[in-house]
Structure 1
Amino acid sequence: MERLYQGIVRFRESDYQSHKDLFKELGQSQSPHTLFIGCSDSRVVPNLITQTLPGELFVIRNVANIVPPYRDTNDYVATLSAIEYAVKALNVENIVVCGHSNCGGCNALFAPEETLNAVPHVKKWLEISHGVKEKILREYPDADAQKREWMTEQMNVVQQMKNLLSYPYIKERYQEGKLSILGWYYIIETGEVFSYNKESMEFELVTDTFTP
Structure 2
Amino acid sequence: MDRLFKGYMKFRAEDFESHRELFRELGRTQNPHTLFIGCSDSRLMPNLITNTSPGELFLIRNIANIVPPYRKTEEYVATTSAVEYAVQVLNVDTIVVCGHSNCGGCSALNLPPEELDHIPHVRKWLEVSREVRGRVDRLMVGETAAEREWLTEQVNILVQMKNLLTYPYVREKYDAGTLNIYGWYYILETGELFNFNDENAVFELVS
- TM-score bracket, shorter-length normalisation: over 0.9
Task: Measure how far apart 1:134 and its partner are.
Answer: 1.1
Structure 1: which 5+ residue stretches go unaligned? 208-212
Mapping 1:7-156, distance limit 5 Å? 7-140=7-140, 142-156=142-156
Equivalent position of 1:170 in the other structure: 170
Task: Measure how far apart 1:142 and its partner are.
Answer: 4.2
Task: Measure how far apart 1:130 and its partner are.
Answer: 0.8
Equivalent position of 1:210 in the other structure: none
How many residue pairs end up in the alignment? 207
TM-score for both structures, normalised by structure 2:
0.98
Equivalent position of 1:188 in the other structure: 188
Distance 2:105 2:88 in 1: 29
Distance 2:88 2:203 in 1: 29
Distance 1:139 1:27 in 2: 48
Counterpart residue type for residue 53 of structure 1: S
Could you say what the CA RMSD is over the residues aligned between the two structures, in angstroms? Answer: 0.9
- SS in structure 2 of the partner of residue 72 of structure 1: coil
TM-score for both structures, normalised by structure 1:
0.96
Structure 2: which 5+ residue stretches go unaligned? none
Relative distance call for 1:141 and 1:120 in structure 2 (3 A) is farther
- SS in structure 2 of the partner of residue 15 of structure 1: helix
Counterpart residue type for residue 44 of structure 2: V
Distance 1:134 1:141 in 2: 14
- SS in structure 2 of the partner of residue 97 of structure 1: strand
**% identity of equivalent residues:** 62
Task: Measure how far apart 1:140 and its partner are.
Answer: 1.5
Task: Measure how far apart 1:139 and its partner are.
Answer: 2.9
Counterpart residue type for residue 128 of structure 1: V
Task: Measure how far apart 1:113 and its partner are.
Answer: 2.7
Distance 2:34 2:95 in 1: 6
- SS in structure 2 of the partner of residue 44 of structure 1: coil
Equivalent position of 2:6 in the other structure: 6
Please tell me whether the aligned partners of residues 113 and 123 of structure 2 are also in contact (alpha carbons under 8 angstroms).
Answer: no
